[in-house]
Amino acid sequence: MRILANDGIDNLGKEMLEKAGFQVDTVHIPQEELISRLPEYDVVTVRSATKIRKDLIDACPNLKIIARGGVGMDNIDVEYARGKGIAVINTPSASSISVAELVFGHFFSGVRFLYDAQRKMATEGESNFAGLKKAYAKGSELRGKTLGVIGFGRIGRETAKIGLSLGMRVVVCDTHPIDTKVTLSFFEGQTLDFEVTQIGFDELLGSADFISLHVPFLGKALIGNEEFAKMKDGAGIVNASRGGVIDEDALLEHLNNGKIAFAGLDVFDNEPTPKTSLLRHPRVSLSPHIGAATNEAQKRVGEELATLIIQELAV
Ligand code: NAD
């Protein structure tokens, strides 16, 4: 059995697969060459970069598994593949903590102007230290503020836990029934149970000081002009879900009119070429879709993928 790990796989996962007798190739075959080279393989593992569309699936009659390291499967024609008897698997929980931690990187960056300070210190730090000190003098704390989590699934839950640990009031909303009990785990194995407050979408928009989005992209923006208008003046918002979840033009408008104090963005409408007006905005904290990009998450992804592939082929 030959496995192509086209977007890479952590060493631990690779070793597990090799130990189970598979040949694992970690070369990256460019998208346009896959149609001629993927038919040699029984399994392909991808992250978000490689696209597995109908034409490629048709060209690979021997393909048994398409394995996505991560959550979103928007780069794979999942139902079509399954219709052809190919198993499509993913590792939805492996990166939740990493994404949630990045969300707070953006919140801290936003409330203390770190994104802008970093940029300006590089050019003005020597000539205008006192001026910059003054410019960033009015930061705020997160403690005691209300965090609104929209989408209380795997990542929303981890985000809520960090908010609670920081002393924030956490309100959540979801379109599906949810368990509002969360268990915080501490370093030496101690745990603490908490209850988050579930409220309606509009109520959350109107009461949260900080909003974090953790929903799938369902074809249209969840947060547009109307929703921004319902938010508290000076709210901060972080999007580490999918680009289209926020209407970027509406975001820019509400950043510019002062309604929104800052935004933290890990994902963009038009990846990999996001809008320059967002990239250059002084009140937007930015990262290039790296929510899951930690050693720990990638190790878990590799381990989970290997376990799932081994299980699937053993059936
Ligand atoms: P999940 O499926 O566990 O949770 C999503 C939750 O959103 C569900 O509980 C669902 O009921 C709820 N939901 C759906 N539509 C809603 C709406 N309109 N209003 C309120 N709630 C709604 O998903 P997850 O694993 O937590 O992932 C969340 C998002 O994060 C996805 O978009 C995923 O693609 C993205 N993600 C981003 C990165 C990154 O690198 N930034 C990494 C992993 C996942």
Cis, peptide link before residue 272, omega less than 30° from 0 = yes
99 CB within 6 A, ligand 1: yes
Which two tokens mark 73?
């499967």
Residue with CA nearest ligand 1 atom 28: 214
Ligand 1 centroid to residue 32 C-alpha, Å: 30
> 171 pairs with which residues across the strands?
148, 197
Give the number of the atom of ligand 1 that is nearest the alpha carbon of residue 70.
Answer: 43
Tell me the C-alpha distance between 301 and 285, whole Å: 27
ipTM above 0.95, yes or no: yes
174 CB within 6 A, ligand 1: yes
By the 10 Å C-beta count (0-12 exposed, 13-18 middle, 19+ buried), 78 is classed as middle
289 CB within 6 A, ligand 1: yes
- Asked if 193 contacts 132 with a C-beta cutoff of 8 angstroms, the reply is no
pLDDT one-digit tens code per residue, 150-168: 999 999 999 999 999 999 9
pLDDT one-digit tens code per residue, 239-295: 999 999 999 999 999 999 999 999 999 999 999 899 999 999 999 999 999 999 999
Tell me the C-alpha distance between 201 and 148, whole Å: 9
Residue with CA nearest ligand 1 atom 12: 151
Residue with CA nearest ligand 1 atom 39: 291
What pLDDT shows up at residue 286?
A: 97
CA Rg value for the chain:
22
292 CB within 6 A, ligand 1: yes
% of the chain exceeding 90 in pLDDT: 96
Residue range 17-23: average pLDDT? 96
- For the question of residue 289 being annotated catalytic, the response is yes
Out of 106, 214, 217, give the residue to mutate to test ligand 1, the one with the largest number of ligand atoms within 8 Å of its CB. 214
- For the question of residue 28 being annotated catalytic, the response is no
Give the pLDDT band (50/70/90) at residue 315. low
Given 68, 242, 281, 300, which residue is catalytic?
242
SS3 175: coil
pLDDT at 99 over 70: yes
299 CB within 6 A, ligand 1: no
- For the question of residue 281 being annotated catalytic, the response is no
